[in-house]
């Protein structure tokens, strides 16, 4: 399979819908890169499952459409998760996304939901996958004696934190690191690679082929990132 011709341009920018649950610093990095670098793309909406998510207020202030689908509101339904996911899907699709970008979205998504966005939903996970799927990645990396930690951008598949890898950033684990110091170092690297991975998708510089991500020649160089300094 070969790369598709670029689908987006100034006249038909890619529509990105970003899902967050909290601070939203990755979403901010993405929105700022989009604007600053005049991408043929824009953040069409930011949607949270938590009404108090700080990132929602940031997006609203910048004039980005925001929405909230509060997962706790579905607790009384016979199938709370299905009801939440149906409402979330409706909220997302109202913005006609080309790409759905999970950025600190802290809900596990079911197979039907993932299938609906197959190949067009990305996540960033704060470890060098396939190591340390799930939670507390930094603590576990320190406890395991890792000398490198990092973050991975991957396509979302039904198996949690297991989708095809698009981009990775590695940072050192330094003597005396605790979870917070390492998390801060990884986060800075995330702010570099997530926008790059999304931009490369917008440009058609990577694509899915037989369950693996293929990159256009030369296009992957800045999607593997190592920050040697703290």
Catalytic residue IDs: 125
State which of positions 95-114 bind ligand GRF (CB under 6 A).
Answer: 103-104
d(CA 201, CA 167): 11
Of 138 and 199, nearer to ligand GRF (C-beta) is 138
Q: Strand 41-48 to strand 65-68: parallel, antiparallel, or no bridges (unpaired)?
A: parallel
Q: Which of 16, 43, 114, 126 binds ligand GRF (CB under 6 A)?
A: 126
d(CA 211, CA 76): 38
Question: Could you tell me which stretch among 67-75, 87-95, 120-128, 163-171 binds ligand GRF (CB under 6 A)?
Answer: 120-128
Regarding 62 and contact with ligand GRF (CB under 6 A), the answer is no
State which of positions 188-217 bind ligand GRF (CB under 6 A).
Answer: 190
Q: Which residue carries 């929602």 as its tokens?
A: 56
Question: Could you tell me which stretch among 5-13, 18-26, 75-83, 160-168 binds ligand GRF (CB under 6 A)?
Answer: 18-26
Q: Which of 101, 187, 193, 198 binds ligand GRF (CB under 6 A)?
A: 187
Residue 72's Cβ-count burial label (10 Å; 0-12, 13-18, 19+) is exposed
Q: What does each C-alpha distance from 98 to 70, 117, 119, 154, 207 come to in angstroms?
A: 23, 9, 10, 16, 14
Using CB under 6 A, list all residues that contact ligand GRF.
Answer: 20, 22-26, 103-104, 124-126, 151, 187, 190
């Amino acid at each position: 399979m070969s790369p598709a011709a670029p689908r987006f341009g100034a006249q038909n920018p890619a529509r990105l819908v970003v899902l967050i649950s909290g601070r939203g610093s990755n979403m901010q990095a993405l929105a700022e890169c989009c604007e600053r670098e005049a991408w043929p793309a824009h953040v069409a909406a930011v949607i949270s499952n938590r009404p108090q998510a700080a990132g929602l207020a940031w997006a609203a202030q910048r004039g980005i459409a925001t929405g909230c689908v509060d997962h706790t509101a579905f607790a009384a339904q016979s199938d709370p998760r299905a009801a939440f996911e149906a409402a979330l899907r409706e909220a997302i699709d109202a913005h006609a996304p080309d790409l759905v970008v999970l950025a600190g979205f802290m809900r596990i998504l079911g197979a039907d939901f993932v299938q609906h966005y197959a190949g067009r939903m990305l996540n960033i996970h704060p470890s060098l996958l396939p190591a340390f799927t799930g939670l507390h990645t930094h603590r576990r990396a320190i406890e395991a004696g890792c000398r490198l930690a990092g973050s991975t951008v991957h396509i979302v598949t039904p198996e949690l934190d297991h989708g095809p890898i698009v981009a990775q950033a590695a940072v050192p684990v330094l003597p005396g690191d605790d979870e917070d110091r390492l998390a801060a170092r990884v986060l800075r690297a995330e702010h570099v690679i997530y926008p790059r991975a999304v931009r490369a998708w917008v440009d058609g510089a990577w694509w899915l082929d037989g369950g693996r991500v293929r990159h256009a020649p030369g296009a992957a160089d800045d999607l593997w990132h190592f920050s040697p300094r703290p």
